[in-house]
Structure 1
Amino acid sequence: MSGKSIGNYPVTYKHHILFWVIYFIFNTLRWGSYYDDYDYSLKSNIIGFPIHMALTYFNIYFLMPKFVFKKKYITYAILMLLSLYAMLNVKFYLTYYLLSTNVWPEGPEAIDTLTFNYGVQMMLGELYVISFVTAIKITIDWLREHSMLHELEKRQLATELRFLRSQVSPHFFFNTLNNIYSLSLTKSDKAPEVILKLSELMRYLLYATDKRKQKLRKEIECIQNYIDLERIRFDDSLEVDVEISGDLDGKVIAPMLLMPLIENSFKHGASQNIGQMKISLNIKVEGDFLYFELTNNIPKEKGKSTLPTRSGGIGLSNVRKRLELGYPAEDYELRLEEKNNNFNVLLKLRVSKK
């Protein structure tokens, strides 16, 4: 219990007051029915409850943080016993002088002195109250800490996903600008068309990558624009087969999730190959899932490129990390394999709206 409103489990002073009022009424009715004397029960609880509250708050806000949380258990136990003994004396004399000389009406006989049995019963009763309130405090603290930890994990996840998405865009633009650089060296007439395609891609990236999910159709249009750029760059030396089937409407995907896979096939397949280059892309939607299959031939001999050396390695690891952070394990399956001198990427991904 705390005097502040924190996290998703706020506990204010109003909650403290409400708790003690309800507990006071409950206790008054309980012992009033037991004594068959509600007036005595009311007066007894008026005396007892300030003691309950003082000991309870002393325990949860001083003794526990100071000793229990620091694993000083023996010191804590000694101070708790001393506190209970002090409570016992205060309650006995207040009851004796303000309420009744029979300080233990529920006991086996009338008591007007501080006896051992009376002391044990009062201390155990007080310990019950302290334990009850402390349990509530610990439960609320645990719920608050769990909630804050969950919120922190969500924020860390969102931050990491934003970082990964921002990692995609510069890497993609870097490689595309290299394409324009290559065409400009040869003063190709294709350069204006490439710039136009690039502007369409930039528009998509500006408005799509801030969203957690994007329409699948938009993502595929982005991929097609990128492939068109690469077709212009490689001309007749590149053969790209693209097949898209299934119902794309109403399907969503993490933006720029597939692009690094496409880019990787050109980077490590087409750009390093000599002679005829082939890339095959098959995108199929069946039910709630997207089936993505990408194949490029593995370079037999690395050619000399006029392009500046490009940094690699972040594409596939980026996709893996984004899948891990953005999708439950049962919603995707990614396989990479080399077979018959080809590099294959196979991805099964849930694209239905949940």
Structure 2
Amino acid sequence: MLTNNSQILRIDFRLKYHVLFWILYFLLNFLRWGAYYDDYIYSFKSNLVEFSLHIAFIYFNIFILIPRFILKSRYISYIFIILFCLGLIYVLKTFLILFLISEDIWPEANIRYQPFGINHIISECVGELYVLTLASSVYLTMNWLRERERNRKLREEQIKIKLKNFENQIQPHFFFNTLNNLYSLSISNSDLVSSVIIKLSKLMKFVLYDVKDNSFVPLVRELEYIQNYIDIERLRFKNIEVITSINSNIEHIFVPPMIFITFIENAFKHGGYKGIIKIKINCNTENDQYFVFEVINNYVNSKEAFREGGIGIENVINRLKLLYQNEFELSQTSKLNYYIVKLKIPVNYEN
């Protein structure tokens, strides 16, 4: 019932525009030719005849000829039908004016013309084609604009669905890893389990309440989320050195949720050298246009770093492409015993 009502309202809304267009166009012609003839009664009657034929011809063209011939590339047939319609309209218009309004079928010529003169035929057909082109162009342009807007909304919905699918993949993946960490702690050191549970509850709160239905979240909240994850890993590993450096004002910056956590997870998973995990996190902005997130971690063998496919980095890249198209930079390099991941994305400020 709601769908039917919305369709009726949409049809009524479109009908109002059509009626408004023809009323304004009729008034323009009525005033123009009334002033030209200095006879507004004649102008009203002649335009009434003309517009009745205009409207029938134009909607016949829009709803029947264009879909059946133009859109199917049957151009020759379309041209012949248009020529036939022009001839028919000329005959109808001429006789209606001749028998209902005036014997002077072409007063603007300042010469008394007889019906079916070549000049009169050409003039009437050109005028009819002008109206046909104008009205059809307006209608088709409005349809094109509506279709473009519909396609834009459809693409946005598809992007949202894809992003949600990626996020839904990330969250179980992340919590699965965290629960594994919690399990390891429960075996080795039960005193730390309660602390991990508290940290984990904060992570879940962020995912369930802050991330839900949000394409972007405050960067400050995202960094808090990362810090909670790091705190959990600190409880799990003893020899960890993590330094976070923020070199810009980030209060009003928004970022995609959980876009950085994969880099941190990989730093812990594949990092470590001589029994010590060293991680450096750098956050800064460039010219107030880009936000740069960089993770540097030590490692033993570069071939082992990021060797696993699946969700991980590939998922991050897919999300970035959906959100920013080509307006981002992601690099992964190694230098000596350090692995460097650097992500550069456009700054999205709070409105």
TM-score (normalizing by structure 2): 0.87
Q: Is the 8 A contact 2:302 2:334 kept in 1?
A: no
Equivalent residues, number: 340
- Worse-superposed segment, 143-152 or 102-111: 102-111
Residue of structure 1 in register with 2:277 after alignment: 277
Residue of structure 2 in register with 1:231 after alignment: 234
Unpaired stretches in structure 1, ≥5 consecutive residues: 304-309
Q: What are the within-5 Å matches in structure 2 for residues 1-354 of structure 1?
A: 12-107=14-109, 109-186=111-188, 188-210=190-212, 211-236=214-239, 238-244=240-246, 246-270=248-272, 275-284=275-284, 288=288, 290-300=291-301, 312-327=309-324, 332-349=328-345, 350=347, 352-353=349-350
Q: Is the 8 A contact 1:247 1:286 kept in 2?
A: no
Shift of 1:201: 1.0
- Which digits, 9 at most, give the CA deviation of each residue in 1:83-108, with x for residues without a partner? 11111111111111111222122235
- Residue 221 of structure 1 aligns with an amino acid whose one-letter code is E
* Equivalent-residue separation in structure 2 for 1:59 and 1:242 (angstroms): 67
- Which digits, 9 at most, give the CA deviation of each residue in 1:294-331, with x for residues without a partner? 1122234999xxxxxx975422223333333334755x
Q: Is the 8 A contact 2:219 2:254 kept in 1?
A: yes
1:41–1:243: structure 2 CA closer, same or farther, 3 Å change rule? closer
- Which digits, 9 at most, give the CA deviation of each residue in 1:245-271, with x for residues without a partner? 54443333222121111112112224x
Larger relative contact order, structure 1 or 2 (CA cutoff 8 Å, min sep 6): 1
SS state of the match for residue 350, structure 2?
A: coil
Q: Is the 8 A contact 1:265 1:296 kept in 2?
A: yes
SS state of the match for residue 333, structure 2?
A: strand
Q: Is the 8 A contact 1:4 1:12 kept in 2?
A: no
Unpaired stretches in structure 2, ≥5 consecutive residues: 1-6
* Equivalent-residue separation in structure 1 for 2:321 and 2:49 (angstroms): 60
Q: Is the 8 A contact 2:284 2:292 kept in 1?
A: yes
- Residue 280 of structure 1 aligns with an amino acid whose one-letter code is K
Q: Is the 8 A contact 2:106 2:113 kept in 1?
A: yes
Q: Is the 8 A contact 2:268 2:277 kept in 1?
A: no
* Equivalent-residue separation in structure 2 for 1:313 and 1:90 (angstroms): 72
- Residue 140 of structure 1 aligns with an amino acid whose one-letter code is M
* Equivalent-residue separation in structure 1 for 2:86 and 2:283 (angstroms): 74
1:220–1:301: structure 2 CA closer, same or farther, 3 Å change rule? closer
* Equivalent-residue separation in structure 1 for 2:73 and 2:341 (angstroms): 55
1:140–1:244: structure 2 CA closer, same or farther, 3 Å change rule? closer
User: Please, what is the CA RMSD of the aligned residues?
Assistant: 2.8
Among the aligned pairs, what percent are the same residue?
41
* Equivalent-residue separation in structure 2 for 1:302 and 1:181 (angstroms): 29
Q: Is the 8 A contact 1:264 1:316 kept in 2?
A: no
